[in-house]
Amino acid sequence: MFPVLEPAEIKRVRHFGELHSYGDGETLAKVGEPGLGLTLVLSGAINVTRHDASTSQPIVTYGPGGFMGELAQLTGRPSLIDAHAQGPVEALLIPPARLRALLIAEAELGERIMRALILRRMNLLEMSVGGPVIIGHADDGDVLRLQGFLRRSAHPQQMFDLDADPEAKVLIERFHLDASHLPIVLCPDGRMLRNPSEADLARCLGLWTPLDPARVYDVAIVGAGPAGLATAVYATSEGLSVLMLDGRSFGGQAGASARIENYLGFPTGITGMALMARAYNQAQKFGVETAIPGEVTALQTQGMSDGRPLTMRLSTGEQVNARSIVIASGARYRQLAVEKLATFAAASVHYWASPLEARLCAQQEVVLVGAGNSAGQAVVYLASQVSKVWMLVRGPSLEQSMSRYLVERIGGLANVEVVTKAEVSGLEGDGGRLEAVRWRQAGVAEEIRRPIRHLFLFIGAEPNTAWLAGSGVALDDKGFVVTSPTTTGDRRRLETSRRGVFAIGDVRSSSVKRVASAVGEGAQVVSALHAYLATANRA
């Protein structure tokens, strides 16, 4: 986490940065303010500290050969720590763009630096350093929504529960807030938000910066799941200017997987979020720009055939201009057709099985509906956290829709009961919180009712293509994007009915719904992009 560079290594990186001198006590970084890049100490020392209430606590001191920075320095996002000079300091400041160039040009040294940046972010996440403070009730739906966004964004956070933390009550009294204001979020720069949207929170934290309406990117990618991330990595590494957008966070549905065990190269398995975080960091290393959460609402038809840049509108009112577009928007979670589902959606209905959800239902009984591999992975994970999992399967068995290794693993779990030919028949509760789930099993007259507070739904997804209405992009009868029916080897196979617009991953009609397939298409489409852009340039 804290490597020290040798003099010969420092000499190799000197031309990537600029020399700066700092006086004793001078500020080099401040929580909430944009980071200037990686700071390599040549002489003197830098003290890095964290804020805890009104006090400042030390984290680490960097001496000669040490470098200050974590993942935020790849993009110049706001600092998560404070840093001050201890005595006179001479340092080499490497700005974000030059830092990315260093990581690529100096492969072995860049690997050590990149590993340190990642480990430091993980450490800050564990210590909850530099992130916003959320104040509210731990089981409130809006609290869970904000916590989920920050967790998926790999951003530190602190939670003050009004039902358990005395500090929370003190803060509520200090700001003269009532229940209608909750939850509130205190940003590192001192701003206070009342029940913000994810987009508002991202702006407050500096995760979102205004888009330049005059900028024209080579490629705009809609969706930051496996397919979109793969496209971003390969396109940016090959010199294309890329903007990647996603209405929620990076990772897509793959990021929701408790464990992926059949992805090539990971014999012991890997969590979906860990795999997607690696891909996201890799894309940042090569210089991809991101707008997350940035929900695309429309692909405009203006300029469809005159060679002008393609334009997309965002829910913020902003627009994105690009010479080509890759649709990797995946799918939206399918909803269960049962009365009152929306009433409990915020606090009690979940489409992910992560440590956040596991903490909410620890040592409780839960119901999970679904029979695919994602459902199986979630059941295996939840079984280690809860007292019992009721797994409701509409079909006659798991074998019809689930990989055998998962079927066998579930069969060996004593606290999992698989109920086949079953469907949820009713939900009960009050105040937006689930209290009981009822279900019926085919051929059984009696309805089963269990006191359940948390319901997990893994029943598939529908294509996320509503934003393409009226765009000229053809969809099949199920709403998936239709691409060229030409042979597999043809570079236009992934192109849609609209020139310069491509579709990959789960959103594409007839695609194989697997992480590896999505990544493969993300790599393959870059070749098609180069061919298209070369033609467009000649035109």
pLDDT digits (tens, 9 = 90+) for 357-393: 888 899 999 999 999 988 999 999 999 999 999 999 9
- Please report which confidence band the pLDDT of residue 306 belongs to, taking 50, 70 and 90 as the band edges: low
pLDDT digits (tens, 9 = 90+) for 110-164: 999 999 999 999 999 999 888 999 999 988 889 999 999 999 999 999 999 988 8
- Please report which confidence band the pLDDT of residue 531 belongs to, taking 50, 70 and 90 as the band edges: very high
Tokens of 213: 């309406």
Pick 7-127's CATH classification: 3.20.20.10, 2.60.40.420, 3.40.50.300, 2.60.120.10: 2.60.120.10
pLDDT digits (tens, 9 = 90+) for 24-78: 999 999 998 999 999 999 999 999 998 765 567 899 999 999 999 999 999 999 9
pTM, two decimals, is 0.86
According to CATH, where is 3.40.30 located in the chain? 133-196
- Please report which confidence band the pLDDT of residue 539 belongs to, taking 50, 70 and 90 as the band edges: low
Distance separating alpha carbons of residues 293 and 202, to the nearest angstrom: 7
Distance separating alpha carbons of residues 531 and 526, to the nearest angstrom: 9
Q: How far apart are the first and last CA of the chain?
A: 50
- Asked if residue 167 has pLDDT above 90, the reply is no
Tokens of 1: 């986490």
Q: Which of 185, 133, 189, 124 is nearest to 158 (CA)?
A: 133
Percent of residues, the chain, with pLDDT higher than 90: 75
- Please report which confidence band the pLDDT of residue 348 belongs to, taking 50, 70 and 90 as the band edges: very high
Query: What's the pLDDT at 302?
Result: 67
Pick 216-332+462-538's CATH classification: 3.90.650.10, 3.50.50.60, 1.10.287.1080, 3.40.50.720: 3.50.50.60
Distance separating alpha carbons of residues 195 and 146, to the nearest angstrom: 9
Pick 133-196's CATH classification: 3.40.30, 3.30.420, 1.10.10, 1.10.287: 3.40.30
Distance separating alpha carbons of residues 360 and 363, to the nearest angstrom: 9
Please state the rounded mean pLDDT for residues 447-474. Answer: 93
According to CATH, where is 3.50.50.60 located in the chain? 216-332+462-538, 341-459
pLDDT digits (tens, 9 = 90+) for 255-299: 878 788 888 999 988 988 899 999 999 999 999 999 999 999 999
Query: What's the pLDDT at 101?
Result: 96
Please name the residues in contact with 18: beta carbons below 8 A apart, sequence gap of 6 or more: 92, 93, 95
86 SS3 class: strand
Distance separating alpha carbons of residues 445 and 437, to the nearest angstrom: 17
Please state the rounded mean pLDDT for residues 484-505. Answer: 81
- Asked if residue 512 has pLDDT above 90, the reply is no
Query: Does the domain formed by 341-459 have CATH 3.50.50.60?
Result: yes
DSSP designation for 487: -
- Asked if residue 429 has pLDDT above 60, the reply is yes
**Rounded to 5, what percent of the chain is helix, strand, coil?**
30, 30, 40
Query: What's the pLDDT at 538?
Result: 66
Please name the residues in contact with 455: beta carbons below 8 A apart, sequence gap of 6 or more: 344, 348, 349, 350, 366, 367, 368, 369, 424, 427, 434, 437
According to CATH, where is 2.60.120.10 located in the chain? 7-127
Please state the rounded mean pLDDT for residues 173-202. Answer: 88
- Segments of 53-105 assigned E as strands: 55-62, 67-68, 82-94
Tokens of 394: 């509409």
Mean pLDDT rounded to a whole number for the chain:
91
Are the CB atoms for 325 and 312 separated by under 8 Å? Answer: yes
